[in-house]
Structure 1
C-alpha cells in the first residue's frame, strides 16, 4: 500500500535572498506597474498635446506612489509553525498554529499565509489561505485545530507567507518555513490475558514458575532444613509429626514476550481510527495492546520485524520500555521487496528459548508459514495471531475475480490447517481475551515432561 500523498497547498521553497544584496527580494506588484504606466502616459500626452489638465491628472498617481515608497521594508517576515508536543493518540485533538512575525519598522499591509497538512491530520480550514495584518515589530497567530486520523509520523507544514507592503506596491517573495513533525501513537485496543505464561525465566515477577523459591503459590510441605525462614513453619503439621515442617512455595518470576511483526506485505486500505483497518493497522494496534498488558505485569517485552530490515528492540520492562515500544511502532512499514531470503536477518537463534513468541501475521506470504514452522520445530513457544481482516481480498495490483478470491481463501485455510497440525496455534485477533485459550494450551504443553 502506498502512503497517501500530501495535498499541494504552498509553492516549493525558493531562495529568498537576492544574489549579491544579502537581503530579501521585494518585487513590484501590478499596482505599481499600473501606477507608473498611467502616470507616464498622462505626462507624455500632456506634454505632446500641450494640455496642463492631463499633467495635473497624472500628478496624484506619481505623488501617491512616491509617498508610499518613501519608506521601503528591509526585512522578510518570520513564519513559525507550532503544534502539540504532548502524547497524541489516534482520534485525539490536535492543536496547531501559524505565527507570522514582522521584525521590520514598516507595517505589513497584508500577509497571506498558507500551509500543507498530512491527509491524516485533519485541521479545520487548513486547505485555504489566511489573510492577516501584521504591525511593525509585532506578530499575529492563526490557530488551527483538528483530529489525528491515524498512527505514524506526520507533518504540519511546510507553510508559506507572502507579504504586501507600501500600500500594495511591493510584495515579498514567498517565505517558506520547514514542516513541524508530529508523532501520533496507535490507539491501544483492550487486551487482557489471564492465563499463565509457558515459561518464566527471570528472577522476580508475577508468573508462577515450576521452580521452588520465594513466592505465593504453595508447592507442598517438607521437613525443616537449614536456611528456611521461621515464618514458613507449618505449625499444624509440625505438632502432628513432632518434627518441624515448612511450607514450600513456587517462585514468582517474570517472562519474556517477543512480538514478531510480519511486514512482508500489506493488504487492505486504512481508513483511520474510525474507518477500515488494514493489516498494518491491526498489527501495530495489537502489538501496542499486548506490549502494554505484559509490561504492566512486570514482564520483559521485545519486538522484531520479519522483513528485509529486520529491526529489533531489545527486551526490557517498565514504563520507559512501553514508550520505546510506541516510538518503535511508528516506523513500521510494509516491505514490498521481493527478495527471496530473509534468513540472513532472522533465525530461530535470535529468539530466547524461554520467550513466548507472539507472531502477528496476515499469512498471505508463503515465507511467513515457513517461518512459523521453523520456530515451532526449534522448540520455541509460538503463538500466531491472524491479522488479516475479515472479508479482505488478497493483496494484488489487479482486480481479482470472485472465483480466484474464493480459491485463494481455500488455499489460505489449508495453510492454517497445516500449521495447526504441526503444533502452531493460530488465533484471530479479537481484542480482550484473544490469546487466553491458546496460552492455556501452550502452558499445558510447556509443563509436560520433555523427552530427551
Structure 2
C-alpha cells in the first residue's frame, strides 16, 4: 500500500514552522510552547504507524445479464491487521445505476474480522462492465497518515443486448441441406405431406396410401417434403449513429440483431453476423448455443469507429456469405457506403431485406420538439424516401423501425413487402 500524508499533517507542519519563525523574529521563547501538542501528535502518529494489510474479493450474481436486468454485487473485506478506519470507494460506469445499497463504505475492522458489502446495480447499456477500480484508504490514530491501495476487480460483468422473443420471422426463399424447420421443395423424409404417386420398387411400404390404391386398383405411395434449415446473415451498420447513450440507432440495430440470431438459431438455422463499420468484423455462419454466444460477444463490442476507408463487401470471405442466404440488414442509411454494399449484395442475388432504425424518430424521442428538429426530421424523411425508392428498384424491401414498435410487428410488415415484391417481380 502507498502511504499518503493527510492534510491535517500539513497544517501541523505549517503551524510549527510559523511558531518557530515567530519565536526567532520576535525573540519570544514562549512561542515555542504553542506547537508542542502538534509535535506530540506527529510523534505519536509515527510511533503508532504500521502498514495495514487486508484482502478484497468480489463476486456478482448473475455473471451474465441483459440490458435492464439487475445484478447483486458482493465485496468481501478480510482484515489481516487492525483497521481503525477503512474507506472504500467504487467508481461505477455511467451504464449502471445503484438500485439498493451503497458502493462507498467506511468500516472499522479488527485483525481477522471479515465484512461483506452488498449492493444492487441496474444495467442500462450493453458492454463489458469492469466494477471498479475500487480504492481503499486505511488510516490509524491520530489520522495523520493514510495508506491508499487501488484494487482492480478481474472479472468483467457481461451485459448483453436486450432480447425480444419472436414467434415469427422472415421466411427464407431457399433452404439448405441440413435438417431444420422449413418445408423444402424436395421430397424425402419428413412430416409434411406433399404428393401421391405410383409405387416404385424400393419404396417404403409404410408410405402406401391404401385408400387411393383400393380406389384405383393400383399401388400408390405418399410423398413428404423434406424439412431443411436455412443460412441467415445478419448485418448491422456501425458507420454512423444518431442519438445519445441511452437511446440511439446503433443500440436498436444491435438489439434487433441479437433477437433475430436467437430466433433463427432456435430453429436450427445457420446464422452469421457481419458488422459493417470502420472495421469490418464478422462471425461465420454456424448452429448451436455456442454460436449464439459468439454473436453476442461480437455485438458487445460493436461501436462506431471513424474511418474514411470505403469497405468493399466483396472482400468478405465466401464462407461468411454463403450462396442463397437470407440477408437481414439493420441500417439507418446515414452513410453512402452502405448503399454500395447493399447494391453489391443485391447484384450477387442475395435475398436482402432492410430494417431501418429511423434517425428521425430517434431524434424525436431524444431531443425536444423544436422547429429546427422538426425541419431536420422532414429533410431526412424526404431523402430517406428517395433512397428507399432506389433500393426497391434493386429488389431490396425495407421497413422503418422506431425502436418502440415490437420487432415482430416490423418483421410482419417486412414480410408483406417481400410478398408484394414477389407478385410484382
Residues 204-283 of structure 1 correspond to what in structure 2 (within 5 A)? Answer: 204-271=179-246, 277-283=247-253
1:335 aligns with 2:310: no
Partner of 1:73: 50
Q: 1:302 to 1:432 in 2, by over 3 A?
A: same
Partner of 1:30: 8
TM-score (norm 2): 0.83
What whole-Å deviation, never above 9, does each CA across 1:322-358 have from its counterpart, x for those lacking one? 2222222101111322223434644888521221000
C-alpha contact (below 8 Å) 2:12/2:38 kept by paired residues:
no
C-alpha contact (below 8 Å) 2:63/2:157 kept by paired residues:
no
Q: Distance in 2 between matches of 1:337 and 1:219?
A: 52
- Comparing 78-87 and 204-213, the one that deviates more: 78-87
Q: Distance in 1 between matches of 2:398 and 2:358?
A: 12
Q: Distance in 2 between matches of 1:233 and 1:447?
A: 37
Partner of 1:422: 394
C-alpha contact (below 8 Å) 1:117/1:126 kept by paired residues:
no
1:175 aligns with 2:176: no
Q: Distance in 2 between matches of 1:266 and 1:137?
A: 53
Q: CA deviation at 1:410?
A: 1.0
Partner of 2:385: 413
Q: CA deviation at 1:128?
A: 7.8
1:108 aligns with 2:83: yes
Q: 1:384 to 1:347 in 2, by over 3 A?
A: farther
Q: Distance in 2 between matches of 1:125 and 1:168?
A: 31
Q: CA deviation at 1:34?
A: 4.1
Q: 1:224 to 1:109 in 2, by over 3 A?
A: same
C-alpha contact (below 8 Å) 1:263/1:335 kept by paired residues:
yes
Residues 243-392 of structure 1 correspond to what in structure 2 (within 5 A)? Answer: 243-271=218-246, 277-343=247-313, 345-346=315-316, 350-392=320-362
Partner of 1:140: 115
What whole-Å deviation, never above 9, does each CA across 1:77-136 have from its counterpart, x for those lacking one? 4344443352211111122244433223xx221111111100011125899842211211
Partner of 1:199: 174
Q: CA deviation at 1:65?
A: 7.1
C-alpha contact (below 8 Å) 2:163/2:258 kept by paired residues:
yes
Q: 1:296 to 1:241 in 2, by over 3 A?
A: same
Q: Distance in 2 between matches of 1:158 and 1:131?
A: 17
TM-score (norm 1): 0.78
Give 5+ residue unaligned stretches, structure 2: 365-370
Say which structure is richer in helix.
2
Partner of 1:3: none
Q: Distance in 2 between matches of 1:338 and 1:61?
A: 64
Q: Distance in 2 between matches of 1:64 and 1:334?
A: 57
Give the secondary-structure state (helix, strand or coil) at the position aligned to 2:196.
strand
Q: 1:218 to 1:135 in 2, by over 3 A?
A: same
Q: CA deviation at 1:31?
A: 5.5
Residues 390-405 of structure 1 correspond to what in structure 2 (within 5 A)? Answer: 390-392=360-362, 403=375
Give 5+ residue unaligned stretches, structure 1: 1-15, 17-23, 272-276
C-alpha contact (below 8 Å) 2:313/2:344 kept by paired residues:
no
Q: Distance in 1 between matches of 2:419 and 2:380?
A: 33
1:149 aligns with 2:124: yes
C-alpha contact (below 8 Å) 1:151/1:184 kept by paired residues:
yes
Q: Distance in 1 between matches of 2:13 and 2:363?
A: 65
C-alpha contact (below 8 Å) 1:79/1:176 kept by paired residues:
no
Partner of 2:367: none
Partner of 1:20: none
Q: CA deviation at 1:258?
A: 0.6
Q: 1:266 to 1:194 in 2, by over 3 A?
A: closer
Give the secondary-structure state (helix, strand or coil) at the position aligned to 2:77.
strand
Q: Distance in 2 between matches of 1:393 and 1:63?
A: 65
C-alpha contact (below 8 Å) 1:308/1:345 kept by paired residues:
no
Q: 1:435 aligns with which of 403, 406, 411?
A: 411
Q: Distance in 1 between matches of 2:10 and 2:417?
A: 83
Partner of 1:88: 65
Q: 1:209 to 1:235 in 2, by over 3 A?
A: same
Q: Distance in 1 between matches of 2:179 and 2:324?
A: 15
